[in-house]
Amino acid sequence: MKKILHIALAALFCSAFIFPFAACEIDTGETPGGQVTPGGNENPGGSENPGGSGQEEPPQQNTDADVEVTVGTLGKPDELTLMKRWISSFNTAHPEVNITLTKQMSGMPDTTLWKSAGEMPDIIWTAGDQHSPYSGNLGYFRNLNDETAFPGCTEFFGDFYESLIDSTHYSNTDTGIWFVPRDYNRLVIYLNKTAFEEAGVAVPENDWTWDDFIKTCNDLMDAGAKKGVEWKKWRPVYTTMLQNFGGKYLNDNGTLAIDSAGTEACVDFYSKFYELRRDPSDPVVGLAIEGEGTSFKAYPGFIEGSVPMIVDVRPQLPGYMQAASNGDWELEVRAFPNFTKAEGGVGYVGAGCSGYGITTDCTDEQELHWAWEFLKWCMSEEGYEKVSALGNIVPALKSLKSSGSWREYGQYGMTVDADAFVYGNTKDVFLNYQNSLPVTAHDDFVLRVDDFWKNVHAGKGYRASVDQLISDFGALKK
């Protein structure tokens, strides 16, 4: 009965959270842009991907190869395009192995069905904020942090952003690396440069602060904008803002920490931010509209009625560029504003990823060898170059922060500031906020946190929303 309940919860969790933050999304949970997975990925934001999503030829196959390695990935067009390009290039360079795409998933719970049917691929897609139950409880993935089984892993993983390596662990005490991170997805602010010019408002720099952001929203609305920003009701954004206001969900020992002055301040912020009308006495009131990109894309050609900014992630860049071209306006992007603390220091921003794990069903020595070689190549400078034309990936490697053609992506005569996606004005937020709990409780706690934010936005207020989560958490711990 417990196993059935776990699978049901996992399915519900994934359907609510598959996003590109999964990346994210390329996919990264509730996807920013649409609502799936900042580490899991939905794809609201739209994935009108000019890189050829859904138009790819079948990947090159080595039918006479001695070794076959099977791959399962998310069945989204841009995910499939990405993997097919990698497979074709790798198979061409290595005729002795045949990498084959055999499975497509709607979300990670599908892997449980593959497992029970004896059809688990050697490599499968995963989201950084969704893998823990599959790695730590179900045991689907191999620990890649093992030099004996995966030679060169220490040096290889040393080049990844620390927040991404954090996401590969299934608990606060785990030191395993259960998948290879693929992309570095930080929240950013996309903006309509044409609308800014129409409003006579200066386009901000990447080093802008939270106060700068709030003032920019107000200035845009003073010039006639409908709202200053389209702001996603999405887990990476909630986690970012909660930590910026000084709150958190859990203590390091797994006890609930939600009842705090920081949480109350964050709830108060949201109660004002989405108000229909502005209050001149409070500059935060009435600046945002809820949405997944529709309002931002629908620029009417003048500042009146427009929404010139949106919070999102890199995987949505191709879709926003296409919308800008269709609407005859110019797109730009800036780093997430620095929520400077009163005592100094910098603020926080949600950062997530998608990636690929090698499954415990991959037991043949040669298949295991080539699965590892394939993933190392995909997340290498050469591998990233093969897919940079898709426009939806920031490499997970620190060594490629300032180099590589991912920075040069553009279409319709437009490019954006690549520094915005990796700018060091803020600290990364670890999105696996539930990892101090037993892995069997992760999925259920994420759903309870979702309910908390629903209660906040339903107008139930700080006290009632917190008390409900405390009650839910108590039942979860029994």
Condensed to tens digits (0 to 9), the pLDDT of residues 96-105 reads 999 999 999 9
Mean of the pLDDT values across residues 265-284?
96
Q: What is the mean pLDDT of residues 404-418?
A: 97
pLDDT at 52 over 60: no
Nearest-CA neighbor of 257 among 436, 130, 105?
436
Q: What own/partner pairs with CB < 8 Å and gap ≥ 24 does 58-64 have?
A: 58/84, 59/84, 59/85, 59/87, 59/88, 59/91, 59/99, 59/101, 60/87, 60/88, 60/89, 60/91, 60/92, 61/91, 61/98, 61/100, 62/91, 62/94, 62/95, 62/96, 62/97, 62/98, 63/98, 64/95
Query: Percent of the chain, pLDDT > 90?
Result: 84
Residue 340 confidence (pLDDT):
80
Q: Is the pLDDT of residue 70 over 90?
A: yes
**pLDDT tens digits for 103-145?**
999 999 999 999 999 999 999 999 999 999 999 999 999 999 9
329: Cβ–Cβ under 8 A, 6 or more apart, which residues? 192, 193, 194, 195, 299, 301
User: Is the pLDDT assigned to residue 382 strictly greater than 70?
Assistant: yes
Say what the pLDDT of residue 6 is.
42
Q: Please state, rounded to an integer, the average pLDDT across all residues of the chain.
A: 89
Q: Is the pLDDT of residue 441 over 90?
A: yes
Tens of pLDDT, residues 324-378: 999 999 999 999 999 986 667 799 999 999 999 999 999 999 999 999 999 999 9
Grade residue 201 by pLDDT with cuts at 50, 70 and 90.
very high
Is the pLDDT at 169 greater than 90, yes or no?
yes
In this model, does residue 408 exceed pLDDT 90?
yes
**Residue 56 above 80 pLDDT?**
no
Inform me whether the pLDDT recorded for 153 exceeds 90: yes
